[in-house]
Structure 1
Amino acid sequence: MLAALSLLATSGSPALAALSYAPGVTDNGLHYLIVNGEFESTDDLSKFVTSAQISSTQAVTFNSSGGSVAKAMELGRLIRSLHLITMQARGLECASACSLAFMGGTLRFAQPGAIGVHKSSFSDDTTLNVADAVSAVQQMTANVIAYMTEMGVDPAVLQLALTYNSDDIRYLSGSEMEKYHLTMTEAQPREAPPAQTATMPLPSIAPLALPPAGQAASQQPSTQASLPPIAAEPLPSLAIPVAKSGRVQNYKGQAPLKAASSSASPTVATFMNGSPLTILDDTGKWFRVRIGNKVGYMFRSWVWVAEFGAGPYGSQFVQVKSFDNYPQTEQYVRSSPLPLTAFLASNGWFAITLDRTFDPDSAEALLTKLKASGSIPDDAIVTWGNAFVRKVCCTKQ
């Protein structure tokens, strides 16, 4: 379990203007890159990529008081595309927009109080008129929410940040960073690194000390231990439980109970979403059910099955892909920059979704945003997930 992460940094040393990069390596061979300075819209991040490649960087840490939100998210996406981890401690500053860049890590470690947020982290200054300024802020907020979701961070942290004005930074506690998935412990990873980097040394129980920017590698203190390699995940259970009970859950807010297992058969009654039911038989495409004193047939995609338990009733999934085999499913989930999970469906296929559910309005808005950015396929859908049986990838069963 990660107990501490400390950075040996010059006390009170301010972050430099514009971005610069200082590489280093610890005694146990962890190559890191310190990102110094404020994020500016004109920053050329190809220099970051070059620095990371030349120094064989595995981890990124920051000495930045913030700056351009858009540029910070651009750096975060670069960090994710390069499969780098991020780590931060109170010895170096990471506040405001810097918190967004930190989110790009495939694994993220931070000491309590190391990450600061406030309102200016999420709205760049402009000289627009009131109407255009409001529109710009709304668009930026939507962009940040989509980015956070893409990085596996709970967008609720945005609500917390917006309660603090630009002159009042709120430093997050360790429990808050875990709550919002800003950090990941070895016991609860949000996304496993790709296979080729899975055994690299990571911050450990022994304090990891990194030097201030510019200090020679020979002066670095040693790291006493590293985390064990990420274990290969066992194959999931593909057993489908017998459906016995559930509730009505349909896009229209209600669903008809039919006299026979055919959409052309007469409607016995119509029931609102949430109506409890008992499943008497499974005919394949239809369930024979009892609702109150009525018995009839209901199309199985209109029924949320309690025994499946794949997701909470009343919330929706953003489904991005499906496969008919597990190896292909696991490969897709693990190689995607998005925070994904996969479910065994009742038809034996595997449905890949974003790793959390949303209320219907938020799900539709996020689907539209991610499609427009090219982050998910054009045939991705929003679904209630009524046919999802259980999570099968990629967390421990």
Structure 2
Amino acid sequence: MLGRIYPLLMLLFCSGAHAADFHFVPRNGVGPSTIRLDGPISDGDTEKLRTWILSNPAEYLVTNNIELSSSGGSVAEAMKLARLVELSGWTALVNPGETCASACFFIFSSAQVRISAGDVVVHRPYFDKVAQHPTEHFAQIDAQSGAAIAARDYLSAKGVSSRIVDLMMSLPSSRGYVLTSRDFNELGYLAPVAEEQAIRRCSIDNLDFLAKYSHNRECIESIFIPLRNSMIEKTLGAEALQAAGPRARALYLNQLVE
């Protein structure tokens, strides 16, 4: 086995009784602002994050990263969150000692930039309901097949290799595969379109991303700033985008006094 098998007995499907928490972490004078996702992914989390964005446009405009710390949860909701993260141009980060498992992988793999110093864990999608009747059992077989096909198509479109998807689909919900350095190199730090943009604008691709990123951070970020601006302008209007500018600038320069 190329990587560790991760016991997921404590990381199974999480019901709507618990939901993810989103927390804004402002710049510390050096690093970028960050939004943290902590906890299981449940229905309504995408709307919760969208509401935060539209209620705090200045904070959103200066946020570069989303830190992921989640045991998983609803795959359908994770895909919705993943689309919002993708539209934002945020870098998905998994910090040392933290885990992005199960449905969280859909968010991680959809980000324009994805970096992990922690554990990213995958296993096949599943249903938490125990079949009480043969009809339910066979209905779950059909649903599982459909979910597997949809997940494979979705991840392939995000640049996830068939080898990684095969590993994911081969493992039950009680175990998971921890992505290795080889897997991350294969996945790429930059999503496919982001990599092509970085090649043309900044002369950076996935092979030399880590070596060049620190010296070309502004060039890389210039790819994604228009995405964030566009979301605010399309949703709240050009005047709202312009009005958020002074506060965003003060946040970026650590000059904001509440």
Partner of 2:36: 34
Partner of 1:114: 119
User: 1:160-309 to 2 correspondence within 5 Å?
Assistant: 160-179=167-186, 181=187, 183-184=188-189, 190-192=192-194, 227=217, 229-230=219-220
Q: Secondary structure in 2 aligned to 1:62?
A: strand
User: With CA pairs under 8 Å and 6+ residues apart, which has the higher RCO, 1 or 2?
Assistant: 2
Counterpart-to-counterpart distance in 2, 1:141 and 1:127: 19
Counterpart-to-counterpart distance in 1, 2:163 and 2:210: 28
Q: 1:226 to 1:149 in 2, by over 3 A?
A: same
Partner of 2:71: 65
Counterpart-to-counterpart distance in 1, 2:116 and 2:45: 26
Contact 2:126 2:173 in 1 (8 A): no
User: 1:13-162 to 2 correspondence within 5 Å?
Assistant: 17-26=18-27, 27-40=29-42, 42-53=43-54, 54=56, 55-56=59-60, 57-111=63-117, 113-119=118-124, 122-127=125-130, 129-162=136-169
Letter in 2 for 1:123: Y
Kindly indicate which of the two structures has a greater share of residues assigned to helix: 2
Letter in 1 for 2:89: H
Q: Secondary structure in 1 aligned to 2:217?
A: coil
Counterpart-to-counterpart distance in 2, 1:44 and 1:190: 26
Contact 1:87 1:108 in 2 (8 A): yes
Counterpart-to-counterpart distance in 1, 2:53 and 2:216: 21
Letter in 2 for 1:58: N
User: 1:325-336 to 2 correspondence within 5 Å?
Assistant: none
Q: 1:127 to 1:167 in 2, by over 3 A?
A: closer
Letter in 2 for 1:81: L
Q: Secondary structure in 1 aligned to 2:68?
A: strand
Counterpart-to-counterpart distance in 1, 2:189 and 2:97: 20
Q: 1:33 to 1:231 in 2, by over 3 A?
A: closer
Counterpart-to-counterpart distance in 2, 1:146 and 1:178: 21
Counterpart-to-counterpart distance in 2, 1:17 and 1:109: 26
CA deviation string 1:7-63 (max 9, x = no partner): xxxxxxxx99311101113323512111111112x3241221232452222211111
TM-score where L is the length of structure 2: 0.62
Alpha-carbon offset, residue 69 of structure 1: 1.2
Q: CA RMSD in A?
A: 3.3
Corresponding residue pairs, total: 188
CA deviation string 1:255-277 (max 9, x = no partner): xxxxxxxxxxxxxxxxxxxxxxx
Alpha-carbon offset, residue 150 of structure 1: 2.5
Letter in 1 for 2:141: V
User: 1:331-350 to 2 correspondence within 5 Å?
Assistant: none
Q: Secondary structure in 2 aligned to 1:229?
A: helix
Unmatched 5+ residue regions in structure 2? 1-13, 203-208, 228-258
Counterpart-to-counterpart distance in 2, 1:147 and 1:28: 35
Contact 2:155 2:165 in 1 (8 A): no
Q: State the identity %.
A: 22
Q: 1:134 to 1:231 in 2, by over 3 A?
A: closer
Greater gyration radius: 1
Alpha-carbon offset, residue 78 of structure 1: 1.3
Letter in 1 for 2:103: A
Letter in 2 for 1:71: E
Counterpart-to-counterpart distance in 2, 1:88 and 1:50: 23
Partner of 1:304: none
Kindly indicate which of the two structures has a greater share of residues assigned to strand: 1
